[in-house]
Amino acid sequence: MSNNLTLESYSSISTIAQVLAESFADDPSFNLVFGQNPNRLATIRAFFEPFVADATKRGKIIMAPNLQGACIWYPTEVEIFDEQFEQMLMEVIKTLTKLAGEESAQRFQHLIEQVGNHEPQQSHCEVFFLGLKPSARGKGIGQDLIKPVLDYADKNQLPCYLVSSNSRNISFYERQGFRKYCSIKINDTYSMTGMWRELSC
């Protein structure tokens, strides 16, 4: 954790959104939503900005050194999919309609609805986004980013939840103590994986 930088070091929402955009640009979920959009990276950055803004108010943001990646997570007392969050999602959909077209916006709306429908009811903390730029992967940085979340969960004897949008990342999360919790079908060819980490004994 000593190498990680908190939000105060990078107060710009757009900077954090840019880091996440570069980290998720090749993610299957964003391929599904945005396809070959010519302004893909700028659109994904605009997509992330409201989520980063929400996390500055209700959640936690952890930045990797040298802006190599970021983690957005929510402590247990936060109900993520509340009315305020739903209103924000509607604004995201409007933004996507403007920047990426109605079909992309509809694909995102369907995806986030499926994710929300599978949200566990049991009290838990949640990793909402964890991403690394391609050049930062495979170096242990992801483990550094998620460690404060797991430390919080262990200290407070809480389970932890996340949704893996890329099947290649499942083994990484399993090494952190997560297990497959549910399959979240988005369409006939793509599913996301809800993952659950039980409280430590």
Residues 6+ apart with CB under 8 A from 15: 67
Print burial letters for 153-186: b (CB count within 10 Å at least 16), e (below 16).
Answer: beeeebbbbbbbbeeebeebbeebebeebeebeb
The pLDDT score that the predictor gives to residue 51 is 96
Per-block mean pLDDT, blocks of 10 residues, the chain (201 long): 44 90 95 87 94 94 94 95 94 95 95 96 96 93 95 96 97 97 96 93 50
User: Does this model's pTM top 0.75?
Assistant: yes
The pLDDT score that the predictor gives to residue 36 is 82
* Bridge partners for 184 per DSSP: 192
The pLDDT score that the predictor gives to residue 39 is 86
The pLDDT score that the predictor gives to residue 38 is 77
Report the alpha-carbon distance of residue 56 to residue 103 in Å, rounded. Answer: 30
DSSP 82: S
Domains in the chain and their CATH numbers? Answer: 5-197 (3.40.630.30)
